[in-house]
């Protein structure tokens, strides 16, 4: 397993991280989830990403149990704050000082750790002054509850404003966690150039487009039984945008490219995002340990320019590039 620095920081992380957004505490039972985490460790993954909202806190609990007994200094544990996890009262969500300070304590307890390596703002909060949010994060860092600060799905101008405040507060804002794949490239036009300038790295989620880039979804055919597309609790709404025949037909045309490169379709997809120098890590998820084993083989793979061009020629017409697709809810009325 190769490592990369997280943005411009000195923190090294495994270039393939393990995330439990849709799988732990919801789609996958705890024993199976634990087996996937153990497999990730066996494959050399040291970086684990979660959030308090995943499975309404259950994902953090499952991850904490699965990592119990591991040498803490050998792990990088990331979590996030923003979405509601309580009964949905007016202060149960967002990036107010109250919600951040209460949420970090809950996350640490569930994860069974004294600190997280990276604490991330899960979305931008339009209803809280950014100064309040960044000052609260600064206190979390100074209290030793988080070592670094990151954001997730923030726009370029939001990242720049937060970075300026972080510099004033002398806290390390080092990362952004956006969706990124061959099919979803909305960060390339604005977020990536801004992040490169500021020393911020991308920890990308859904590099396999929720499983579509594995090639298992076929045009004109129903989704395979038990797949994510058939599981209302496992991301069926998210994957729906890719289940169009024009997309699926293009994805099938990637198979010869993967074969020529000696990779599975999933490995090709993960390797593709890792070719971007601003990507510090690609987050994979799994419902079975063998999926982890397959995906990690993308670590260290270098795709030559001809392969990258061939991929662009195939998927180009169905790629989403609009920077405006990166957005946070304008109101916290969820």
Return the active site residues. Answer: 54
Distance, in Å, from the CA atom of 6 to the CA atom of 11, rounded to the nearest integer, reads 6
Distance, in Å, from the CA atom of 268 to the CA atom of 230, rounded to the nearest integer, reads 24
Closest by CA to 323, choosing from 155, 182, 159, is: 155
Q: DSSP letter for 94, please.
A: S
Distance, in Å, from the CA atom of 10 to the CA atom of 12, rounded to the nearest integer, reads 6
- The residue count for the chain: 334
Torsion of CA 21, 25, 29, 35, to 10 degrees: 60
Distance, in Å, from the CA atom of 315 to the CA atom of 254, rounded to the nearest integer, reads 8
Counting Cα atoms < 13 Å in the Cβ hemisphere of 205 gives 20
Helix (H) or strand (E) holding 300: none
For tokens 């990362």, the residue is 175
Q: DSSP letter for 205, please.
A: B
Contact criterion met (CB below 8 Å) for 128 and 137: no
Kind of pairing between the strands at 12-14 and 3-5 = antiparallel
All residues at 6 or more sequence positions from 244 whose CB lies less than 8 Å from its CB, including other chains: 318
CB atoms within 10 A of CB 231: 16
Distance, in Å, from the CA atom of 19 to the CA atom of 79, rounded to the nearest integer, reads 10
Read off the tokens for 323.
């920077």
């Amino acid at each position: 397993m190769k490592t990369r620095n997280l943005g411009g920081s000195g923190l090294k992380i495994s270039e393939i991280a393990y995330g439990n957004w849709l799988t732990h505490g919801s789609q996958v039972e705890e024993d199976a989830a634990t087996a996937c985490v153990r497999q990730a460790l066996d494959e050399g993954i040291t970086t684990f990403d979660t959030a308090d909202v995943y499975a309404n806190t259950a994902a953090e609990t499952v991850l904490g149990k699965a990592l119990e007994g591991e040498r803490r200094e050998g792990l990088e544990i990331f979590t996030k704050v923003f979405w509601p996890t309580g009964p949905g009262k007016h202060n149960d969500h967002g990036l107010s000082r109250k919600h951040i300070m209460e949420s970090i304590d809950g996350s640490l307890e569930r994860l069974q750790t004294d600190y997280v390596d990276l604490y991330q703002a899960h979305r931008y909060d339009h209803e809280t002054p950014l100064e309040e949010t960044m000052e609260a994060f600064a206190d979390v860092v100074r209290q030793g509850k988080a070592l670094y600060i990151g954001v997730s799905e923030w726009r370029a101008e939001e990242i720049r404003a937060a970075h300026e405040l972080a510099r004033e507060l002398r806290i390390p804002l080092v990362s952004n966690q956006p969706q990124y794949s061959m099919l979803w490239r909305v960060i390339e036009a604005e977020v990536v150039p801004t992040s490169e300038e500021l020393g911020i790295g991308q920890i990308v989620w859904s590099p396999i487009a929720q499983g579509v880039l594995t090639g298992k979804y076929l045009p004109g055919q129903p989704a395979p039984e038990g797949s994510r597309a058939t599981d209302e609790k496992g991301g069926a709404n998210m994957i729906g945008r890719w289940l169009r025949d024009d997309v699926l037909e293009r994805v099938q045309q990637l198979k010869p490219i993967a074969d020529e490169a000696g990779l599975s379709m999933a490995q090709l997809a993960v390797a593709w995002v890792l070719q971007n120098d601003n990507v510090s890590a690609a987050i994979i998820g799994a419902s079975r340990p063998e999926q982890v084993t397959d995906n990690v083989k993308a670590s260290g793979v270098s795709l030559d320019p001809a392969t990258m061009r061939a991929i662009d020629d195939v998927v180009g017409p169905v790629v989403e590039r609009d920077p405006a697709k990166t957005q946070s809810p304008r109101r916290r009325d969820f």
